């Protein structure tokens, strides 16, 4: 089984503005990762090739990074999750941008069961929340994809009943988002 999971959002912002969102990943001023509702993305050093980290039970290292354009993470855990996930800024003909997240992996062993039953729905919800946050960061109304019952149930069980609610980024006066 080969997994290719793609999420993308058209943003009415220049590639440089959207690239700055990627460049802020795992920093104290991360403008892209939806840390209000999900485990923080952490790296052992600033975003650069070789940096190691992850979020929650997912581990990875930065395999390649072109500031303002793309970052590729090589998955390292959980066991059996062999592949990459990446973020790319794609310039559009009108000067706006497309922010794309791609996961490509071959689940092995137990991961062949865990991926479709639990990790995939959580992954998709997290990525959609990040894309909504990106929209708010560039001054667009965020398109919120509500969490499914399965995602809410998985978060409740995995969080031992202490799961945070979905945070909705809103564009605050002056263009910077606030989450409610």
> How many residues can be counted in the chain?
180
Summarize the confidence of residues 91-106 as an average pLDDT.
Answer: 97
Structural domains in the chain, sorted by start: 3-179 (3.30.530.20)
Give the ranges where the chain is alpha helix by DSSP (H): 15-23, 111-114, 120-137, 149-158
Sign, CA dihedral 147-151-157-158, equals: negative
Distance CA 5, CA 38 (A): 19
pLDDT at 174 over 90: no
pLDDT value of residue 165: 77
Sign, CA dihedral 120-164-61-92, equals: positive
pLDDT at 3 over 60: yes
pLDDT at 145 over 80: yes
Distance CA 35, CA 38 (A): 5
Give 171's pLDDT tier (boundaries 50, 70, 90): low
pLDDT value of residue 175: 47
* Residue 113 CA from chain centroid, whole number: 22
Give 170's pLDDT tier (boundaries 50, 70, 90): low
The closest alpha carbon to 83, from 49, 115, 50, 56, belongs to 115
pLDDT at 18 over 50: yes
Summarize the confidence of residues 104-126 as an average pLDDT.
Answer: 96
Vertex 34, ends 180 and 29: CA angle to 5°? 95
pLDDT at 95 over 80: yes
Summarize the confidence of residues 123-147 as an average pLDDT.
Answer: 96
Name the DSSP letter for residue 164: P
pLDDT value of residue 177: 41
pLDDT value of residue 176: 42
**78, burial (CB in 10 Å: exposed 0-12, middle 13-18, buried 19+):** middle
Per-residue model confidence as pLDDT tens digits over 27-51: 999 999 999 999 999 999 999 999 9
pLDDT at 172 over 60: no
């Amino acid at each position: 089984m080969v997994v290719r999971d793609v999420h993308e959002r058209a943003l009415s912002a220049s590639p440089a503005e959207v690239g700055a969102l990627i460049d802020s990943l795992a920093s104290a001023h991360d403008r892209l990762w939806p840390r209000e509702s999900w485990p923080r993305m952490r790296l052992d050093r600033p975003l650069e090739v070789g940096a190691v980290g992850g979020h929650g039970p997912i581990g990875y290292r930065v395999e390649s990074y072109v500031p303002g354009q793309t970052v590729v993470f090589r998955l390292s855990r959980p066991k059996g999750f062999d592949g990459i996930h990446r973020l790319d800024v794609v310039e559009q003909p009108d000067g706006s941008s497309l922010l794309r997240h791609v996961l490509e992996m071959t689940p092995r062993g137990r991961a062949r069961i865990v991926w479709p039953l639990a990790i995939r729905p959580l992954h998709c919800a997290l990525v959609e929340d990040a894309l909504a946050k990106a929209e708010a960061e560039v001054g667009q109304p965020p398109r919120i994809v509500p969490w499914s019952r399965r995602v809410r149930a998985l978060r409740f069980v995995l969080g031992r009943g202490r799961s945070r609610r979905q945070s909705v980024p809103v564009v605050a006066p002056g263009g910077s988002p606030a989450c409610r």
